[in-house]
Structure 1
Amino acid sequence: MVESMAATSLLGHRPFCSGTSVTDVSNKRKSTYNCQLTKTEFLGRRVIASPPLPRLKVDHVPVSSIKALAMELTKEVHSYKEERIPRNWNYQIDTGINEKPVVWPPENKADNPSLQNPLLRQERMGCGWLGAIFEWEGVLIEDNPDLEKQAWLALSQEEGKSPPPAFILKRIEGMKNEQAISEVLCWSRDPSQVRRMASRREEIYQALQGGIYRLRAGSKEFVNILMHYKIPMAVVSTRARKTLETAIGAIGVEEYFNVIVAAEDVHRGKPDPEMFVYAAQLLKFIPERCIVFGNSNQTVEAAHDARMKCVAVASKHPVYELGAADLVVRHLDELSVVDLKNLAAVETAEFGSGEPELELEEEYDGPTSSTSAAVDDNFW
């Protein structure tokens, strides 16, 4: 049916156009186009094409197919611009300045508006409100690292395991026994077996240690000073609570500490900050106002991850290995309350956005005439 309609219609055939150029009296060349359309007749089931119609003289120049395509493309471009480009041109200029609304004075997480005493509220907002978190071994009492290694070697011999090398023993320093056995040493994944070996390892250590505890020089004097200024204190350790409480009672410093965090209170040891975060919660202090006292880089890492300051005591590591700490001392009595307030007074995340500042590197312009070395051509 479509073919029959095309056959009986003028649109079914393409016009035959021819053009000639003529020159008029003014010697101007003009183009004339003549279009011929075929005539068709429908007779029965056959289509008969008649001779072409007389030529129709066209005075105007028709638009070529290339020009029509260009016009269509131009329309598409303009329509795309109208859709994409706004008409108001109200663009935001990037000045590199944070446009967030600034609240002044900045919010202080240490503030407690419910306090009736304005002096206490001011102390909380200032650097006078801080808490101290002490590690037990190597900070308050003397620690013998050789006993730790001997306990692990004895346990490996009892269990028929390969003795851990020195770098593994250094890696599990400060971890809970269960964490070291299952995650680093990979001696067992069975929880009951892990607990059994961890308990046995603690028994071996206590047998080697002999239950003798000795305070480090200057630690009790420093604790007395903090207690005099009513600074809350906590002690953390990966030892069992029973062992830790027995040791604190034997030394006679149980009245100094408000909080005791033992191995049963946390899931993971260092370098995970869980112990220090839990101690700060029990002290009811924000982490930014807590100062951790430790003796290893694992402690420094855990304290910084908890957004706390860290004072490293060089008891079993030299001073140059503890450079990541905020302050390094050999004994606690080298510190004063002023030092602690200075640590608490430095800028922290609570006084700003907490975003790290970007350091700009100086561009290298190449060697100058004063520093460039001349090359002798005769050398080559």
Structure 2
Amino acid sequence: MVESLAGATLLVHPPVYGRYYGKAVCSKRKPVDICRLPSTEFIGRKIVFSISVPQPRVARLLVPSVKSQAMELTKEVYSYKEKERIPRNIEYQIDTGFDRKPGLWPPENKADNPSLQNPLLRQERMGCGWLGAIFEWEGVVIEDNPDLEKQAWLALAQEEGKSPPPAFILRRIEGMKNEQAISEVLCWSRDPAQMRRMASRKEEIHQALQGGIYRFRSGSQEFVNVLMHYKIPMALVSTRPRKILETAMGAIGIEGVFNVIVAAEDVHRGKPDPEMFVYAAQLLQFTPERCIVFGNSNQTVEAAHDGRMKCVAVASKHPVYELGAADLVVRHLDELSVVDLKNLADIESGEFGSGEPELETEVEDDYDSHSSSMVAVDDIFW
């Protein structure tokens, strides 16, 4: 109590603390703690401090007053701390997930286009009937030979005097841009000019091994014709140069089928980065949630999901059980129908960002309790 008085007193001088003995009613001497503050007087140019020490007979009268002052000062100190800790005017802001300004609820549908004058077309765009398809080139639209890609990298390594990359490195650079693989994974060079030269040379080797022969994968041509019949916009995405893609499409006779073509020159990074697919969706003027990616690897599935798109995996070079992360797995594209695509594009809850909360399971707890009970039985048995 005395310390509170010393810290909260308005005087500059510290209090004088002492102990005096007084006589109580029962005629026994008891120690009494007394705290008195020194008084200051000005006498000429000097400052005189005088301390008045009370007599033991008046100690009982002064103690209650000193304690009461200390208690009041202590209450003031604690009340000041409480005011700093909890302000008086508290405005609780509850995050409801949407803007509470008038006229902005329900939230705006991202798929809507107010510039369209046809209300039926606007309604179709906001529903699951409006979707875009993004295709990978090799292994999805045309037949792919993965061994040619590996042979091209090994031949380039031999030409450049580099050690041949092992099999796990070749699997890791699948779907990457050539420059990205050369600088980040193979670590052959960081010079942009050297990277472009080696990337171009690798594509030349690959084209020489390919022989200029391209053919549709089974079921791909029929599926592309169905999408064209329903006027579903399509985009083609590949890490090959644009010149090679245009030559290949001319060889199989599908010029002008794809509304958008995203080639190696259009992006900085390949898979598993979603840059290619997001850029294709932007060119199609579609929201990512309304796009369906067709690929043939787990890197494609990862990139599509990172870009908030649905993914249909085609089991061309990987078995079906390895592509379980995809939204749908097929062996050939003609197994799909437009109804399947519309079901994948039905994203009313996800578009507004208010999905249902996930339920937590207690599998681990049950397993722990079961294991502990088994241990107890074993202990009793032994």
TM-score range (shorter-chain normalised) is 0.7 to 0.9
**Equivalent pair of 2:99/2:105 in contact (CA under 8 Å):** no
Counterpart residue number, 1:107: 108
User: Structure 1, residues 10-43: CA drift from partner, whole Å, max 9, x if none?
Assistant: x9xx9999655376xxx7879999xxxxxxxxxx
Counterpart residue number, 2:271: 270
Q: Residues 205-220 of structure 1: matches in 2 within 5 Å?
A: 205-220=206-221
Counterpart residue number, 1:362: 362
User: Structure 1, residues 255-313: CA drift from partner, whole Å, max 9, x if none?
Assistant: 31111111111111111111111111221111111111000111111111111111100
SS at match of 2:142: coil
Counterpart residue number, 2:153: 152
Identity %: 72
CA separation of 1:376/1:209 partners in 2, compared to 1, >3 Å: closer, same or farther? Answer: closer
Q: Residues 89-128 of structure 1: matches in 2 within 5 Å?
A: 98=96, 100=98, 105-128=106-129
Residue 176 of structure 1 and its aligned partner are, at CA, apart by 0.9
Residue 81 of structure 1 and its aligned partner are, at CA, apart by 3.4
Q: Residues 1-380 of structure 1: matches in 2 within 5 Å?
A: 19=21, 21=23, 58=58, 61-63=61-63, 67=67, 72-85=73-86, 98=96, 100=98, 105-347=106-348, 349-353=350-354, 357-362=357-362, 364=365, 367=369, 375=377, 379-380=381-382
Residue 346 of structure 1 and its aligned partner are, at CA, apart by 3.2
Q: Letter of the 1:289 partner, please give it.
A: R
Quote the Cα distance in structure 2 between the aligned partners of 1:219 and 1:257: 13
User: Structure 1, residues 45-81: CA drift from partner, whole Å, max 9, x if none?
Assistant: xxxxxxxxxx896485322899465664344224433
CA separation of 1:321/1:15 partners in 2, compared to 1, >3 Å: closer, same or farther? Answer: closer
SS at match of 2:218: coil
Quote the Cα distance in structure 2 between the aligned partners of 1:85 and 1:333: 66
Residue 214 of structure 1 and its aligned partner are, at CA, apart by 1.2
Quote the Cα distance in structure 1 between the aligned partners of 2:18 and 2:110: 88
Quote the Cα distance in structure 2 between the aligned partners of 1:188 and 1:205: 20
Cα RMSD (Å): 3.5
**Equivalent pair of 2:20/2:56 in contact (CA under 8 Å):** no
**Equivalent pair of 2:234/2:258 in contact (CA under 8 Å):** yes
Greater helix content: 2
Quote the Cα distance in structure 2 between the aligned partners of 1:162 and 1:87: 72
Unaligned 5+ runs, structure 1: 1-10, 34-54
**Equivalent pair of 1:107/1:350 in contact (CA under 8 Å):** no
Residue 361 of structure 1 and its aligned partner are, at CA, apart by 3.4
TM-score by length of 1: 0.78
Structure of greater Rg: 1
Quote the Cα distance in structure 1 between the aligned partners of 2:378 and 2:303: 57
Residue 357 of structure 1 and its aligned partner are, at CA, apart by 3.6
Quote the Cα distance in structure 1 between the aligned partners of 2:301 and 2:182: 23
TM-score by length of 2: 0.78
CA separation of 1:117/1:316 partners in 2, compared to 1, >3 Å: closer, same or farther? Answer: same
SS at match of 2:176: coil
Residue 339 of structure 1 and its aligned partner are, at CA, apart by 0.5
Q: Is the deviation greater in 100-109 or in 174-183?
A: 100-109
User: Structure 1, residues 136-194: CA drift from partner, whole Å, max 9, x if none?
Assistant: 10001000000111110111111110100111000100111111111110001111111
Unaligned 5+ runs, structure 2: 1-12, 33-54
Residue 253 of structure 1 and its aligned partner are, at CA, apart by 1.0
Quote the Cα distance in structure 1 between the aligned partners of 2:312 and 2:378: 57
**Equivalent pair of 2:182/2:195 in contact (CA under 8 Å):** yes
SS at match of 1:260: strand
Residue 372 of structure 1 and its aligned partner are, at CA, apart by 6.2
Quote the Cα distance in structure 2 between the aligned partners of 1:166 and 1:104: 54
